[in-house]
Structures are given as structure tokens and as C-alpha cells.
Amino acid sequence: MIKVVKVDKHNKYLGLIEKEKAHQLKGMLHRAFSIFIVNSQGKLLVQRRSRYKKLWPLDYWTNSCCSHAKVKEKIIKTAQKKLKQELGFTTKLKLIGKFRYNFKYKNIGSERELSYIFIGKYDGRVRPNKKEVYDFKWANLEDLKKEIKKNPDNFTPWFKKEIKELAKEF
């Protein structure tokens, strides 16, 4: 049973809660992170979520990697481990911001998270874990923004919100 860190709107620790329970109904606010990997050509690594994801599976493109904070571990360390697990590499990450969101997925559940946003640079080989990632590509940020505008339902809602913050970093 996987547990996530439950917090209040001020990011105050409230305890641990089962991941499944945190995502039910309207969701319970918990800590998470999103990672954006950019290569030396300025292209962003985006992934299409695995069919095994309960919320926003398969047909949705999203940021390079995302997951939940662990208790008693610095969130950047957890992010590094998840990056290696999902995409097969590690790189230095820089915190560029954080924000809260609450998005409902059909009648299945919700993402209600306080998300730390990290950015990193990488030019090597990507080896996605098929249980986590269905597909991936390197995309030009401007082309990606146009695609989001044209086909917003092809992207996770948090990605559409976070991409605006990321644009400030380019």
C-alpha cells in the first residue's frame, strides 16, 4: 500500500494517507512533483501516460515525469529516483516553483496536489519504463503550446497549467 504526504493549503504536514484514498472523489490535498526535462536544442521531453494509470491514462500527454513526495525524504531526492525509474536516467534538477491544483477525471477520481515543479537538462538516451510511460517525444515548446491550444483534451490538466510556468524559464 503506497502512502502520500497529506498537507493543508499552506503545505503544513497533516500525516500520511493511502494514495488510492487521496485520489478518490474530490481528492485530498497531498504533495507531488512534476519534472520537465529540456535538451540542448531547447526541446521538452513529454510523455504519454501508461495504460496502467488510473487517472488520465494512455491518451494524454504530460510533463517528462511526475509522482508523489515521500515522507522523511527530500522531495528532490524522490524526484531524482522517480526520473531514473520512469525514464532510465538522472540529471541535476532545479526547483522553479510550486502550485496547488484540483482536477477531476471523469467519475473515477481527482488529482488534488501541491506540486513542486523541477526542471533539468539532458541529452542522452531515454529508456522509458513501459509500466509508467506509454510513449515519449522531444517537442519544441512553441509547437507544443500550439498543439495544446488546438487539442487541449490530449493533455493532462496539470501539464497545461504548469507549461505556463515553464515558459518563463526559456
80 in helix, strand or coil?
helix
Answer yes or no: 65 catalytic. Answer: no
- Of the candidates 65, 66, 111, 162, the residue annotated as catalytic is 66
CATH of the domain at 101: 3.90.79.10
What is the CA 50 to chain-centroid distance, rounded? 13
The separation between the first and the last C-alpha atoms of the chain, rounded to the nearest angstrom, is 39
Give residue 169's pLDDT: 64
Give residue 52's pLDDT: 87
Tally of domains within the chain? 1
- Of the candidates 86, 111, 113, 162, the residue annotated as catalytic is 113
Cell of 114: 501541491
Give residue 161's pLDDT: 87
pLDDT values of the chain reduced to their tens digit, one per residue, 170 residues: 789 999 999 999 999 999 999 999 999 999 999 999 999 999 999 999 998 888 888 889 999 999 998 888 899 999 999 999 999 999 999 999 998 999 999 999 999 999 999 999 999 999 999 999 999 999 999 999 999 999 999 999 999 988 876 766 65
DSSP class of 1: -
Contacts of 81 (CB under 8 A, 6+ apart): none
Answer yes or no: 66 catalytic. Answer: yes
83: containing domain: 3-167
> The whole model's pTM is what?
0.93
